[in-house]
Structures are given as structure tokens and as C-alpha cells.
Amino acid sequence: MSQPEFTVEDLKRILVEGAGADEGVDLDSDILDTGFESLGYESLALLETAGRIEREFGITLDDEVFIDNPTPRELVAAVNAKLPGSVAA
């Protein structure tokens, strides 16, 4: 049985849909360890992004999820840990 997975591609798509993209940042470069702030997203953009992840993947994220996970790599791991079938879920 295939398990749903949250990838960095999902994250980039949702960021752009909800908050657009900064022309000075190339989201297709290696951004995994670049902080969201450096990618041009302020707290409201991240709030919007968290809401979109929650409703698309049917999960609830902690209010502090972007504070505890300030880079795409950490956030992807944190979201996947919430998905059904993950060890942590």
C-alpha cells in the first residue's frame, strides 16, 4: 500500500500558491537547508502555508511548526511525521 508523502516539491508548490515567490530567490535551486526567512517568507506567509498543508494533507500542525522547523528539510520531516503510516503518527 502506498503511503502519502509530503515532499519538498509539495512544499514549494504550496508556498507559491499561498504566498507567491520572491523574484530574488530560485526555489528550484537547493533550498533544503535555507531558512524560510531567507527565502523571502514572513510569518504570515508561513501561517498561510501551514494552513494549506493542513487542509491538503488532512493533518493538524503545531502552531510553532515553522519556529521549530525553520528550513524546508526540517519542515518536510515534521510534516511527514504527522502523516498516517509514519512511525511517529
Partner 1 sequence: MTARVVITGIGIATPNGFGVEDYWAATRVGKSAIGRITRFDPTQYPARLAGEIRGFDARDHLPGRLIPQTDRMTQLALVATDSAFEDAGVKPGDIPEYEMGVVTASTAGGFEFGQNELQALWSRGSQHVSAYQSFAWFYAVNSGQISIRNGMRGHSAVVVSDQAGGLDAIAQARRQIRKGSKLICSGGVDASICPWGWVAQLANGRVSTSENTERAYLPFDADASGYVPGEGGALLILEDAEAARQRGAENVYGEIAGYGSTFDPRPGSGREPGLRRAIELALADADAEPSDIGVVFADAAGTPELDRVEAEALIEVFGAAGVPVTAPKTMTGRLYSGAAPVDVVTAVLAMREGLIPPTVNVSLSPEYDIDLVTAQPRTAHVRNALVVARGYGGFNSAMVVRGTDR
**CB-based burial of residue 46 (10 Å sphere; 0-12 exposed, 13-18 middle, 19+ buried)?**
buried
- In the three-class reduction of DSSP (H, G, I as helix; E, B as strand; rest coil), residue 80 is classed as helix
Q: Which is nearer to partner 1, 2 or 25 (CB)?
A: 25
Report how many residues bind partner 1 under the rule CB under 8 A: 16
- Segment 26 to 65, residues that bind partner 1, using CB under 8 A: 40, 44-45, 47-48, 51, 54-55
Among 4, 10, 21, 34, the residue binding partner 1 under the rule CB under 8 A is: 21
CA-closest candidate to residue 65, choices 83, 46, 41, 52: 46
Q: Does 23 bind partner 1 (CB under 8 A)?
A: yes
Q: Which is nearer to partner 1, 23 or 28 (CB)?
A: 23
And the C-alpha cell for 46? 508561513
CA distances for 3 relative to 6, 54, 74, angstroms: 10, 17, 20
Residues that bind partner 1 (CB under 8 A): 16-23, 40, 44-45, 47-48, 51, 54-55
